[in-house]
Amino acid sequence: MNEQSLSVREAIIQRRSVKNFNGQPVERETLMTVLEDAKWAPNHGNREPWRVVAACGKELADLHTVLREFGVTKWKDLSEDELTKQMKKFTAPGAYAFVIVPEDVRQKERLEDYAAASAYIQNAQLLAWDLGIGSCWKTPPFLDAPKFREALGVKPGERIISMLQLGYFDEMPKARPRKEVDEFVTFFSSNN
């Protein structure tokens, strides 16, 4: 763990989505600490509407096989060398966390659960960043593929909302410009 943790503000402003992981594994204990602490995300009714399927260490090889077989179907016509090159973006992260939520038939609860799980994911990203671990929240189309869902043990009535890649990196990603606050905030006026 870091000797000195980042302030909340520093973590929010400094965190970047990492896409070029260096292949160094994330230790199980570290991943579990991140996922454990992330549970303090706000969630209506304290439902904690998330479930996580994680992979690090020895599970990564099995996950890579699943990703190759069921996930990335658009690569079926590639040569073995081309496929290996494309798979690098899936084999370089040192850990994965697939966040799964129930798909409540009631719209209000479904939206609340999605928002809560999104807060959980953001917490995990900030906590990982504080430990020097990068992350990238991805939502590739294969998350909804029946064989991929089956391989992860996703049940009917559940949805994978995130493939969270985590890992170490050698180069700090550049910050993309953000809008100025006055471009997206207006103050209430009864004259509107």
The 10s digit of each residue's pLDDT in 37-84 is 999 999 988 889 999 999 999 999 999 888 877 756 566 677 778 777
Residue 64 labeled ligand binder: no
Helices (H), strands (E): how many in the chain?
6, 4
User: For the CA atoms of the chain, what is the radius of gyration?
Assistant: 18
DSSP state at residue 17: B
CA 16 to CA 161: how far, in whole Å? 19
Which pLDDT value is given to residue 98?
98
Q: Report the pLDDT value the prediction gives residue 8, as an integer from 0 to 100.
A: 86
Q: Residue 127: CB partners within 8 Å, gap ≥ 6? A: 33, 34, 37, 38
pLDDT of residue 74: 62
Please give the pLDDT value at position 1: 46
Whether domain 8-183 has CATH 3.40.109.10: the reply is yes
- How does pLDDT run along the chain (192 residues), one tens digit per residue? 456 788 889 888 889 999 999 999 999 999 999 999 999 999 988 889 999 999 999 999 999 888 877 756 566 677 778 777 778 888 999 999 999 999 999 999 999 999 999 999 999 999 999 999 999 999 998 899 999 999 999 999 999 999 999 999 999 888 888 899 999 998 998 886
Q: How far apart are CA 161 and CA 122, in angstroms?
A: 13
Q: Is 139 annotated as a binding residue?
A: yes
CA 114/CA 68 separation, integer angstroms? 28
CA atoms within 13 A on the CB side of 133: 28
Vertex 66 angle, CA 75 and 26, to 5°: 110
**16 annotated binding-site participant:** yes
Q: Where are the alpha helices (DSSP H) in 45-189?
A: 59-66, 80-91, 107-130, 146-152
Report angle CA 19, 22, 29 to the nearest 5 degrees.
95
User: Helices 59-66 & 80-91, crossing angle to 10 degrees?
Assistant: 130
Domain extents in the chain:
8-183
**186 labelled ligand-binding:** no
Of 129, 124, 133, 138, the residue nearest 169 (C-alpha): 133
Q: What is the pLDDT of residue 148?
A: 92
- Residue 136 three-state SS: strand
Residue type, 165: Q
Structure tokens of 52? 């996580």
Is 28 assigned to a binding site?
no
